[in-house]
Each structure stands twice: as C-alpha cells, then as structure tokens.
Amino acid sequence: MNVHPLERDRLNKDTKALVSEQEPDLIGYEEAAELLNVPVGTLYGWVARKRLPHIRLGPRFVKFSRARLRRWLADHEVQPEPATGRRD
C-alpha cells in the first residue's frame, strides 16, 4: 500500500494518541507486577539490583514503561532446543 509520507505521519500520530489514551505507558509497581506476573516484592529486588528497566524519578519514586517491559520480557524468552531423538 502506497501512503504519502505526510499521511503516514498523521496516521502514526493518530495511532500513538489512541494507544496512549487507552493505555498509559508509564505504570507503577502494581501494574508492572501484574504485567510480568510476578510479586511486587520481586520487582523491588530487581529494581534494587538494576535487573529490570525502570525510570527513577526520585529516591523513592519509580515508574516503568509498559512498552519497555514488554520488550524486556520478549528479550528473555528462551527458545526450545531442537529434539535430538534421545531421551535424557
């Protein structure tokens, strides 16, 4: 489909606005824990050890980017090894 570059920009902006209206990108510990399906305490530990992408807005004020957490989760997916025909 050929779309004029200006029209493509407008469509991209409209899509981003729609997504941000439906689902704000910055979330707190509770929503991040729900998104990752882990206890909130686990998130506190990961943040303290800098194992999870987060945004520190103050000494006790941490937010997470929903999109970045989804990428982080996808980056940690382990692919199955091909079957070798033998059983261990």
Instruction: Indicate whether 44 belongs to any domain.
Output: yes
Domain count, the chain: 1
Instruction: Indicate whether 87 belongs to any domain.
Output: no
Q: What's the pLDDT at 64? A: 97
- Written as one string, the DSSP assignment of the chain is ----HHHHHHHHHHHHHHHHHHS-SEE-HHHHHHHHTS-HHHHHHHHHTT-S--EEEETTEEEEEHHHHHHHHHHTPPPPPPP-S---
Q: What's the pLDDT at 20? A: 47
pLDDT tens, residue order, the chain (88 aa): 565 666 666 666 655 554 445 667 999 999 999 999 999 999 999 999 999 999 999 988 999 999 999 999 999 999 999 888 766 5
Instruction: Indicate whether 40 belongs to any domain.
Output: yes
Identify the domain containing residue 53 by its residue range: 22-72
Q: Is the pTM of this model over 0.75?
A: no
